[in-house]
């Protein structure tokens, strides 16, 4: 469901896969984001190339993660959205607040330095 890698110094990619929904999936992402904030690693990209479904609870988790990272001087970006995920992100207008990029590498470009 989730694997992590540092794509560039201080920029972490969380690669998600399958169906991502309420319960353990949201809790895992929340714990990972909190863990990185505690280490002052506040630039995170959610790579969703392998995600085929998200529910409304996970949309809420995305917004919560973005908010927590922003308050900690960092940010969250979304990358490689499947058609289904892109449809949900656009319908909920999350894309107006959180940057969406075609790939994790593209999302890692011009990342603002942590505050």
Q: Which fold has domain 2-107?
A: Transcription Regulator spoIIAA (3.30.750)
**Residue 91 corresponds to which tokens in the numbers above?**
């319908």
Give how far Cα 45 sits from Cα of 82, 93, 109, Å.
15, 18, 11
How many other C-beta atoms are found inside a 10 Å radius of the C-beta of residue 72? 18
- Write out the chain's pLDDT in tens, 115 residues: 799 999 999 999 999 999 999 999 999 999 999 999 999 999 999 999 999 999 999 999 999 999 999 999 999 999 999 999 999 999 999 999 999 999 999 999 988 777 7
pLDDT at 114: 73
**Residue 57 corresponds to which tokens in the numbers above?**
């609870």
Q: Is the pTM of this model over 0.75?
A: yes
**Degrees (nearest 5) of the Cα angle 25, 29, 34?**
145
Alpha helices in 15-54 (DSSP H): 24-38
């Amino acid at each position: 469901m989730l694997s992590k890698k540092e794509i560039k110094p201080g920029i972490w990619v969380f690669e998600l896969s399958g169906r991502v929904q309420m319960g353990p999936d949201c809790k895992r992402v929340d714990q990972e984001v909190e863990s990185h904030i505690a280490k002052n690693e506040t630039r995170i990209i959610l790579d969703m190339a392998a995600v085929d479904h998200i529910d409304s609870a996970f949309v809420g988790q995305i917004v919560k993660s973005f908010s927590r990272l922003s308050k900690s001087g960092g940010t969250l970006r979304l990358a490689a959205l499947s058609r289904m995920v892109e449809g949900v992100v656009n319908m909920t207008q999350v894309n107006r607040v959180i940057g969406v990029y075609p790939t994790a590498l593209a999302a890692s470009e011009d990342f603002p330095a942590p505050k």
